[in-house]
Amino acid sequence: MKKHRKSEIVQIVLFLAFAVFLFFAIPRFVAERIIVEGDSMEATLFHNDNILVEKVSRYFGAIDRYDVIVFFPNEEAKKNGTRYYVKRVIGLPGETVQIKYGTVYINGKPIPEEYGSSPMDNAGIAGEPLVLGEDEYFVLGDNRFVSEDSRSERLGPVPAKRIGGRVIFRLFPLKRIGRID
């Protein structure tokens, strides 16, 4: 009888340890709910939207052009785990990005864009050709008029190590629930 009771206690302890592990591991390595702050991604995402971010693709370099990602704006924010920025990937590692007259050029060719909700009158550091490093991404907010993004000297291209994940789904508000493209 005592042996059976001891076995049950061990099973309960192991189950609780596994549950605690999952509680911490899933948000850190698999998926996390984030609340959007600000209006730099309008008309795709809005202030206070709840989004689901998958974190697996960042480990395999599976970030593509036009993906919406979350990232830390600098190393200090990454260390402290403070707020993410949410932006759209425009330039990929090794590419040359330039913005001329409100149009984005990748490797000297204009790219089709249907995401920008406002004119881009400030090219910032991409006014001249900007060559991305082998682990850097050029990101823009969809609301180009108010977005602090890779055009800014303070932010610049985003290193892969600061990417938190890829936005895949809007959870709330319910009237706009759905996949994020």
HSE (CB half, 13 Å, CA atoms) of 77? 14
Spatial contact of 164 and 70, defined as CB atoms under 8 Å apart: yes
- Active centre residues (catalytic): 40, 87
Pairwise CA distance, residues 167 & 32, whole Å: 10
CA separation, residue 126 to residues 95, 102, 120 (Å): 12, 11, 12
